[in-house]
């Protein structure tokens, strides 16, 4: 990482030497899993200074809240704020660079269905990093409608079947208070295909297409009955693909108990989906505007979920154009290799976006 001048973080300003020492502590702690002392920094050639000078600078960095002493060790480890400063500088070093090329396909068969691609990408991310890889499937609310069927299961029960451009099938059961005319059911299927094919599930334009004032009262009543199907086939069907294991994470020197809690919690996938949703919605700060654009890093206490507060999450949304469909993420110890993690997440999100453009419409 190139630290060529004063590094600004909030109200703090680091000298180039302090920045290099902070980098040495972050990367040394990642490499060894142990606190990093002045002797190790001097021996590494990171700075041209004596051990006493490095000890002084370590003390200054600790006073700024970037480093801390673990127990009685003479070495230091980064705090959440220290990791945040390092990661922000890592991200900033990519500004102005040309976007990275996608050097390897995510799946070998371009005709692979999206769910197969997600499973394969999850496995490859976990294998490449040794971290826990998590990828959410595209939200049904982002899928382009290819075909609609309205079927009458019973005189007072209808089902709306929505087939997306990706080949996914969503069903919504519609109970009625009284028997429905089969002819009206057939009309509704034809009308819906004319009006909503090519739109996305949950898209606001669907509402307008189903409220044509020129339709008869019976036709408008039928469409009002069926309309919720296009707004409720949403996040309930979103899946979470997980690759990696607690053993892999523990090998990186992470907080083993926290990792075990996280893996045990994966059965409650809805909670983890909720924790990751800000990345999909691009609600978290988007870093790396070019080289690794759209990648978000949340470190330790920046995560709302208790199980994640001694871990870090590196994630990026994938989708079509400005429309996010899901997210690619890595979860691991705060001492992870952030350079590697942000690179592979960026590449994976870009590859899935390319695939989604073919399946969900550009």
- At 291, list the tokens: 């080289």
Q: pTM of the prediction?
A: 0.68
pLDDT of residue 105: 43
Mean pLDDT of the residues in the chain: 79
Instruction: Say which CATH topology domain 7-92 has.
Output: Arc Repressor Mutant, subunit A (1.10.10)
pLDDT of residue 297: 92
Helix (H) or strand (E) holding 132: strand 132-136
Max mean pLDDT among 204-213, 258-267, 352-361 falls in 204-213
How far apart CA 181 and CA 148 sit, in angstroms, is 19
The Cβ of residue 246 has, within 10 Å, a number of other Cβ atoms equal to 17
- CATH topology match: 7-92 vs 114-139+238-360: no
Of 284 and 68, more confident: 68
* Candidate CATH numbers 3.30.1360.70, 3.30.390.60, 3.40.1010.10, 3.20.20.330; the one for domain 141-235: 3.30.390.60
Of 56 and 356, more confident: 56
Of 281 and 75, more confident: 75
pLDDT of residue 83: 95
Sequence length of the chain is 362
> What DSSP designation does 97 have?
S
Instruction: Examine the pLDDT at 84 and tell me if it is beyond 60.
Output: yes
pLDDT in tens, 312-337: 999 998 887 777 788 899 998 899 99
Domain locations in the chain as residue ranges:
7-92, 114-139+238-360, 141-235
pLDDT of residue 233: 57
CATH 3.30.565.10 fits 114-139+238-360, yes or no: no
Q: What average pLDDT does range 63-83 have in this prediction?
A: 89
pLDDT category of residue 18 using cuts at 50, 70 and 90 = very high
Angle ∠(167,173,175) on CA atoms, nearest 5? 160
Q: Which of 18-32, 185-199, 243-257 is predicted with the least confidence, judged by mean pLDDT? A: 243-257
pLDDT category of residue 22 using cuts at 50, 70 and 90 = very high
Q: Helices (DSSP H) in 242-292: which residue ranges?
A: 246-251, 256-265, 269-280
How far apart CA 167 and CA 350 sit, in angstroms, is 21
Query: How large a percentage of the chain has pLDDT more than 90?
Result: 38
Instruction: Examine the pLDDT at 94 and tell me if it is beyond 70.
Output: no
C-alpha separations of 141 from 147, 161, 271, 325, 357 in Å: 15, 14, 19, 8, 15
Nearest C-alpha neighbor of 218 from the set 191, 189, 192, 181: 181
How far apart CA 92 and CA 22 sit, in angstroms, is 16
Nearest C-alpha neighbor of 166 from the set 284, 326, 302: 326
pLDDT of residue 358: 75
The Cβ of residue 149 has, within 10 Å, a number of other Cβ atoms equal to 14
pLDDT in tens, 136-177: 887 655 567 888 999 998 899 999 988 877 666 778 889 998
pLDDT category of residue 90 using cuts at 50, 70 and 90 = confident
């Amino acid at each position: 990482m190139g630290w060529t001048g004063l590094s600004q973080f909030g109200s703090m300003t680091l000298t180039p030497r302090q920045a290099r020492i902070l980098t040495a502590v972050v990367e040394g702690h990642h490499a060894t899993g142990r606190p990093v002392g002045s002797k190790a920094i001097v021996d590494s050639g990171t700075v041209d200074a004596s051990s006493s000078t490095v000890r002084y600078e370590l003390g200054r960095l600790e006073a700024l809240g970037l480093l801390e002493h673990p127990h009685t060790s003479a070495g230091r480890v980064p705090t959440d704020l220290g990791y945040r400063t390092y990661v922000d500088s890592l991200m900033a070093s990519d500004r102005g660079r040309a976007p990275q090329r996608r050097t390897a396909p995510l799946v070998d068969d371009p005709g692979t269905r999206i769910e197969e691609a997600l499973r394969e990408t999850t496995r490859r991310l976990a294998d490449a990093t040794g971290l826990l890889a998590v990828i959410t499937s595209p939200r049904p609310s982002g899928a382009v409608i290819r075909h609609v069927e309205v079927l009458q299961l019973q005189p007072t029960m209808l089902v709306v079947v929505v087939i997306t451009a990706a080949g996914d099938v969503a069903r919504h059961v519609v109970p009625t208070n009284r028997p429905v005319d089969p002819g009206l059911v057939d009309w509704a299927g034809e009308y819906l295909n004319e009006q909503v094919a090519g739109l996305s599930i949950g898209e606001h334009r669907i509402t307008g297409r189903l409220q044509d004032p020129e339709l008869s009262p019976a036709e408008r009543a039928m469409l009002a009955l069926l309309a919720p199907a296009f707004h409720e086939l949403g996040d309930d069907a979103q899946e979470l693909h997980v690759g990696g294991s607690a053993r892999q994470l523990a090998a990186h020197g992470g907080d083993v108990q926290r990792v075990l809690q996280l893996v045990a919690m994966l059965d409650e996938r809805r909670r983890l989906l909720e924790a990751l949703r800000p990345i999909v919605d691009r609600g978290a700060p988007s870093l790396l505007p070019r080289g690794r654009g759209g990648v978000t890093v949340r470190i330790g206490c920046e995560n709302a979920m208790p199980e994640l507060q001694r871990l870090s999450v590196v994630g990026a949304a994938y989708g079509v154009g400005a429309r996010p469909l899901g997210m690619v993420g890595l979860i691991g110890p705060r001492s992870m290799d952030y350079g590697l993690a942000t690179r592979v997440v960026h590449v994976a999100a870009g590859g899935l976006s390319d695939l989604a453009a073919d399946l969900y419409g550009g």
